[in-house]
Amino acid sequence: MNPVQMTPAPPVFTEAPVTEAFPFNPQPVPDTEYEFVQLPTGEIRAIPKSAIRQASVTATQDGPAKVAAEPEPEEEFYVHLADGQVLRVKKSDTPIGAGTNAFFGHWQIGNKVFVVTGIFPVEVEVKE
């Protein structure tokens, strides 16, 4: 059997196809301005600007306000360097130990790095 004979003949239309006509009736565009917001999930939404309000990040109580305690002053130390310099630094700035060759660590000034030979407290408060 010949494959050309197996293909069906294209349909022949004697009348025009029926199409449903829809009237063009666009909805009126509101005068609303939108702000595009990205949610934590990654989704982006258009929110009317009139619906956006300021909200506080945290909630507060109606009770009496507490007086914040004054922060304690940070303890200070003398840092002795191998070249003879003695620096007065805060505890948060003291170097950490770097092994057996530099037990107290290193201190960099400009382009030079010095071995720290000792770290001593400025003053010790004895609490009773």
Threshold 0.95, pTM exceeds: no
Which of 53-67, 81-95, 100-114 is predicted with the least confidence, judged by mean pLDDT? Answer: 53-67
When pLDDT is averaged across residues 57-80 and rounded to a whole number, the result is 77
When pLDDT is averaged across residues 83-95 and rounded to a whole number, the result is 90
DSSP per-residue string spanning 29-76 = PP---EEEEE-TTS-EEEEEGGG-----SS---SSPPPPPPPPPPPPE
- pLDDT value, residue 84: 92
Residue 110 has pLDDT above 70, yes or no: yes
Q: How far apart are CA 80 and CA 116, in angstroms?
A: 6
- pLDDT value, residue 25: 57
Domain residue ranges in the chain:
76-121
pLDDT band at 24 (very low <50, low <70, confident <90, very high): low
